[in-house]
Structure 1
Amino acid sequence: MTPPVLTDSHCHLDFPDFADDLPGVVRRAAEAGVHRMVTICTRLRHEPQVRAIAERFDPVFYAAGTHPMSAADEPMATVDALVALARHPKFVGIGESGLDYHYTAGTKAVQQESLRVHVEAARRTGLPLIIHARDADADMARILTEEYRAGRYSCVMHCFSSGPALAAAALDLGFYLSMSGIAAFPKSADLRAIFAAAPVDRILVETDAPYLAPPPHRGKRNEPAYSAHTARVAAEVFGMDYAAFVARTEANFEALFSKAARWSAAA
């Protein structure tokens, strides 16, 4: 019987934490049943390095955008630049973008401007928007809804750890919620309840590596292999066996990240 495989839908393999260990990271992922991963560029000037990782390792795809916490420090992204990057065959998503008022509330205006640029790029390319949201639930729901009414696009709420109102708003728009190691933390019962109330066909799994390692690796460097630990907790949340849950999230990933699915099918 073929063992179940899953995708780490969001990690950061270009970060210094992995500089001397990329082949090992990819190998350990495969050994854990993680056959595919999306590495995310958070500053567009780093896109060449992130692209090179995707080109070096067949299981790795990539996305690029300007992280909201960096929006005020980086040149404003343009729709044309993002659309041009999306021509690469392994470029599969727009972002991460979004809003983060936890440490950077003083840059709300520029974050919101950057977010709307990324939404338009997602519309034009047909690629999913990858959203980071922290302490900005009301503005996040408002802008995503306004933009969707102006023209449809697809989206995943990466590392979802916000409240039930933002979860409901995202799901009402047909978007996806992604479970990170936070959902596996013992004190995250309220967050697990939000996920349990969501349709399982809108759920993805991720690490956000090198951050947020799930138990039993909490406090250590996270890596794509550990998404299997989060998936096992998630399967329990949805009352499913592990293989069935992983198969469901694989179908979800391929529906949203269809460009990655086509590449994998052709490989």
Structure 2
Amino acid sequence: MWIDTHVHLDAREYGGDGAGVARRAEAAGVSMIVIMAVEPGNFDTVAALAAGSPNACYALGIHPMCVPQAHDDDLAYLRTRVEAAMGDPRFVGIGEIGLDFFIPELTTPEMREKQARFFREQLRIARDFGLPVMTHVRRSQDQVLKHLRQIRPPSGIAHAFNGSLQQAQNFIDLGLHLGFGGNLTFTRALQIRRLATELPLDWIVLETDSPDIAPSWIHPGSNSPENLPGIGAALAELRGVDTDVVRVAAHRASLAAIPRLAGLCAAV
């Protein structure tokens, strides 16, 4: 089965039809999708979407792009929600969290410090509850690695990875898998395609980041988790292996990165 480890099913691009998107993904062979939260205001929405879709589960977290509007009380609220969600089999981890040093307004000294503080506290929550983290690492790989070394969650994913081979190995050494998606379908994405072929297949998970990072065949349109099998086929072609080899390896890697998926996938 295909697993999409990173989607935003409540995005406005779907016009409130996230459940329909999940159904179409299931029809396309995507047996599980992991819905990311980005701030406390969408915690209930992602949980409800997962509850209403047999092939969906969810993570809770505060995205670095939402940190400027966030308050310390939001971190306390996240901890409370995580504790309450531990009994929900469709709750699988902490995400999307991390650091973003691409957007100019997030790169001021004040915002860098606030991002780091929110990231570290969310890493503590993950560590305290034994949960994986789904990390945002845009232009921040080394800084994310620094905090992960100091506050180590049990597992997780470096989402939309686009660093160096050395950085990739550093994430692997910390027990984090590497997320690849639609970017690898573009012939001009030389660095990403090189990484996707040279990294150990057992440490690669597949994701769409829907509705973002659309693959080449629909760019610049909105992405959807139903495109994941095509992304997997593109990775197989790059590596010169059968698509089933990638599907099986990505499934195994997804369960290693997000262990609570195992029970859900067994029930599908």
**TM-score, normalising length from structure 1?**
0.91
2:159 pairs with 1:155 = no
CA contact (8 A) 1:7 1:250 kept: yes
- SS class of match (1:37): strand
2:198 pairs with 1:197 = yes
Of 108, 119, 125, which aligns to 2:123?
119
RMSD: 1.7
Structure-2 change in CA distance of 1:83 and 1:161 (3 Å): same
Aligned to 2:175: 174
Residue by residue, what CA displacement relative to the aligned partner does 1:116-174 show, whole Å, maximum 9, x if unpaired? 111111112222101001112321222222223xxx52120011123333212101212
2:237 pairs with 1:236 = yes
* Whole-angstrom CA distance in 2 between matches of 1:112 and 1:129: 15
Structure-2 change in CA distance of 1:22 and 1:147 (3 Å): closer
* Whole-angstrom CA distance in 2 between matches of 1:245 and 1:184: 15
Of 11, 14, 19, which aligns to 1:18?
14
TM superposition shift of 1:226 = 0.7
Aligned to 1:28: 24
TM superposition shift of 1:17 = 1.2
TM superposition shift of 1:40 = 0.6
Aligned to 1:92: 92
TM superposition shift of 1:249 = 0.6
TM superposition shift of 1:201 = 0.7
* Whole-angstrom CA distance in 2 between matches of 1:228 and 1:266: 21
What is the percentage of aligned positions where both structures have the same residue?
29
TM superposition shift of 1:23 = 4.0
Aligned residues between the structures: 260
TM superposition shift of 1:82 = 5.0
Gap regions ≥5 residues in structure 1: none
Gap regions ≥5 residues in structure 2: none
- Give 1:1-267 correspondences, 5 Å limit: 5-76=1-72, 77-78=75-76, 80-87=79-86, 88-103=88-103, 104-106=106-108, 107-148=111-152, 152-266=153-267
* Whole-angstrom CA distance in 2 between matches of 1:22 and 1:183: 25
